[in-house]
Structure 1
Amino acid sequence: MKIACIIHSLDGGGAERVMAGLASRLCDRGHEVVLVTLDNGVKNRHELSSAVRRVPLDLMRVSRSQLDRFFNSRRRVAMIRDSLLDQKPDVVLSFCDRTNIDVLSGLRNHSLPIVISERSDPSQQNLGRWWEYRRKSVYRRADRVVALTRSAADHLRPICSCPIDVIASAVEQPPIESDRAAAESNRRILAVGRLEYEKGFDRLLDAFSTVSQQHSQWSLRIVGDGSLRKQLQSQADALGLDDRVTMPGWIKPIWGELADATLFALPSRYEGFPSALLEAMAMGVPSIAMDCESGPRAIVENESNALLIPNDRGELAQGLLRLIEDCQLRNRIAAGAKSVLERFSWDKMVDSYERVLSEAASSVDSGD
């Protein structure tokens, strides 16, 4: 098949990582893959196979008014349409909500089969009135929809008229091993993600403030960047944690950070399917995750591979204290965490996408 993939950029977190890996692996399986991105293609945090042809559209514009937004939207949709049609693919694979909406809008009068992949939890995510209206209007035009979890799929069914497949994200084998004895001596809690409201780092700082009153030798490291950096730094300073909290920005690759971490924390208010948690577990880092909507509960089976706690700020502090003070629990979780490597392998994920893309292309060819 010739597959045209499209996403906003490769300069970001989980969705971008999965798109880069999926496009590369589909190419390895003999498919012709083109990757269209809405950015200028300059900043990339994820490696892409040289066999995948990259088409950057340089469409990332800031709208300064309602009129700006209208014209930017029309221009963006037109350029996405023209670029995808120029590729003459057998099937289009689009990642992430706003890009999905623009792709479906642009190709509404064309017969290209379109598979869209929702990368977050639509029941929790509010795109704003304009984007939500457009999503409800155009998602029914998709030939197939992919959701990360069953709960996300259930939420999408009322606005979709095609089959919805549940395909979880994948995690790769870590390229390095973690010396757990050395990591234990670091007494470091690691968190990774975009510094945005939904990731819940504000409540992690509050929880760590409680923890540090009893365990002052522990530190917290938050790897990532985003619009709340200054706000989170100010919160850490106000809590008197400035000497024990570091926020170094994005670090690539993340494996060295994970290898050195004593614990990993996922404080999210909601998730799609948290790649950072998967990577921490693949490294064998004892992990704690808030039982927020969608992803974590699909990953954590029981306390043999991670600690899943109620989605509450106070519970996070108590969960961290429990892990810090119970060495046997940490060791048990570390031993069981690596089961994610089998459960969420790249081969399984690529098999599923390959099947969905092939079925979507065939259904349009046959007129179904």
Structure 2
Amino acid sequence: MSSNKINITFALPNLLPGGAERVVSYIAQNIDSKKFNSTLLIVGYSKDASYDIKGIEVVYLEKERVLNGIVDLYKYIKRTKPDIMLSAIGHLNTVTAYMSLLFPKTKFVAREVNVLSVLATFDKPKKCNLMGYIEDKRFNFFSKVICQSQDMLDDFNKNYNIKKDKLVVINNPITDDFKVKKRISINKPIQFITVARFDKEKGHPRILEALSKVSFPFHYTIIGRGAEEMNIFDLIETYNLTNKITHIPFTKEVPRYLAESDLYLQGSFVEGFPNAVIESCMVGTPILAIDAPGGINEIIYSNINGKIVSNVEEFTQALEQINANYSFTPKLVSNSVNTRYSGEFILNKYETLFLNLAKQ
């Protein structure tokens, strides 16, 4: 390796389909190779990789869980001595935070994926006091913590007492080329779509409640799967929506489905920085969202690329008015996000962060 380049390792638990996996692997592959030597370290199995990684070294520890990979992770850092190590997702960040104490010459950076204090209000397995304390204090050991939204930064500062000079907001980049749809008129019946994991914080029941009250024909496509799937489909039956809904567990053609839809429905209680919302805008499909922490207010410009409402009642009212008041132009919807979150713009922010860390 050229000694004048900054050696960076990007670490992930796995390469299964997911926003963090896609964004981190994109950054790893696309940062300036004239300035950085980039390696992608995956704790999990190579057979599970859902992303085709090109142009950089990929190291798989071939472990089922992060906990099982601690020793091999330690050996890797000791052997390669990266200048910077960026890890993503909570449990891996906990491990790298405390491992940083053993490698003072490496700058450790965490990329977190949610507004954690809000996420903690949902029914997650209760941790013992000691484990909760260890996880909450992990952020103190990083050189920098990357927040996907201003809401996330404010949460870390207020609820975890992390000083603002250790926090930096870098939004998620647009990682693919999206074609803006040409169709301006809406479908008959109108087509709605949501792309999200079936978890409680994603708020699918709020959307279904609103859809059960609208008085016009529609079709709703849900792309995703997860722990709440059975409960969600029970609710679909209860609301008598079965014939109006198509469920797609997983597809690599999300942009096509987004472009074929008229309105993206966002019901989350909390987000990190929702990739699907940005992607929907990129193809020209506007958003109707219930207000929630995690970047919604940063992405959506009212009446330009969507609308934010306060609750299910207002969401239902906005749906009822959509046929009469639909005035969004696909090109304007796309333009509202394509500069702010372009790959080039976000990559520049990462590169600036890494260069500044290397100088310290």
Q: What is the TM-score with the length of structure 1 in the denominator?
A: 0.87
TM-superposition CA deviations, 1:56-79 (whole Å, max 9, x none): 223334xxxxxxxxxx83x43333
CA distance in 1 between partners of 2:168 and 2:145 (Å): 6
Q: Does 1:60 align with 2:29?
A: no
CA distance in 1 between partners of 2:201 and 2:285 (Å): 23
CA distance in 1 between partners of 2:330 and 2:267 (Å): 18
Which residue matches 1:105? 98
Offset at 1:28? 4.8
CA RMSD of superposed structures (Å): 2.2
Give the one of 129, 132, 150 matched to 2:127: 129
Counting matched residue pairs gives 345
Q: Does 1:357 align with 2:354?
A: yes
Letter in 1 for 2:134: R
Offset at 1:52? 1.9
Which residue matches 1:313? 312
Q: Does 1:142 align with 2:139?
A: no
Which residue matches 2:3? none
**Unaligned segments of structure 2, at least 5 residues:** 1-5
- Is 1:173–1:282's contact at 8 Å kept on the other side of the alignment? no
- Is 1:142–1:160's contact at 8 Å kept on the other side of the alignment? no
- Is 1:38–1:57's contact at 8 Å kept on the other side of the alignment? yes
Offset at 1:47? 3.8
Letter in 2 for 1:22: I
- Is 1:210–1:317's contact at 8 Å kept on the other side of the alignment? yes
Q: Does 1:90 align with 2:83?
A: yes
CA distance in 1 between partners of 2:173 and 2:115 (Å): 17
2:25 counterpart SS class: helix
Which residue matches 2:278? 278
Offset at 1:27? 5.5
CA distance in 1 between partners of 2:12 and 2:103 (Å): 20
Moved more, 217-226 or 39-48: 39-48
Q: Does 1:208 align with 2:211?
A: yes
Q: Does 1:117 align with 2:117?
A: no
Change in Cα spacing, 1:359 to 1:299, as seen in structure 2 (3 Å) is: same
**Unaligned segments of structure 1, at least 5 residues:** 62-71, 364-368
Change in Cα spacing, 1:280 to 1:234, as seen in structure 2 (3 Å) is: same
Q: Does 1:167 align with 2:164?
A: no
Change in Cα spacing, 1:38 to 1:25, as seen in structure 2 (3 Å) is: same
CA distance in 1 between partners of 2:320 and 2:13 (Å): 39
Letter in 2 for 1:316: F
Q: Does 1:335 align with 2:332?
A: yes
Change in Cα spacing, 1:159 to 1:327, as seen in structure 2 (3 Å) is: closer
- Is 1:281–1:337's contact at 8 Å kept on the other side of the alignment? yes
2:248 counterpart SS class: strand
* Structure 2 counterparts to residues 182-331 of structure 1, below 5 A: 184-185=187-188, 187-211=190-214, 214-215=215-216, 217-310=217-310, 312-328=311-327, 331=328
TM-superposition CA deviations, 1:74-115 (whole Å, max 9, x none): x43333222333332111011122211111122322121111
CA distance in 2 between partners of 1:149 and 1:132 (Å): 24
- Is 1:18–1:170's contact at 8 Å kept on the other side of the alignment? yes
CA distance in 2 between partners of 1:141 and 1:219 (Å): 49
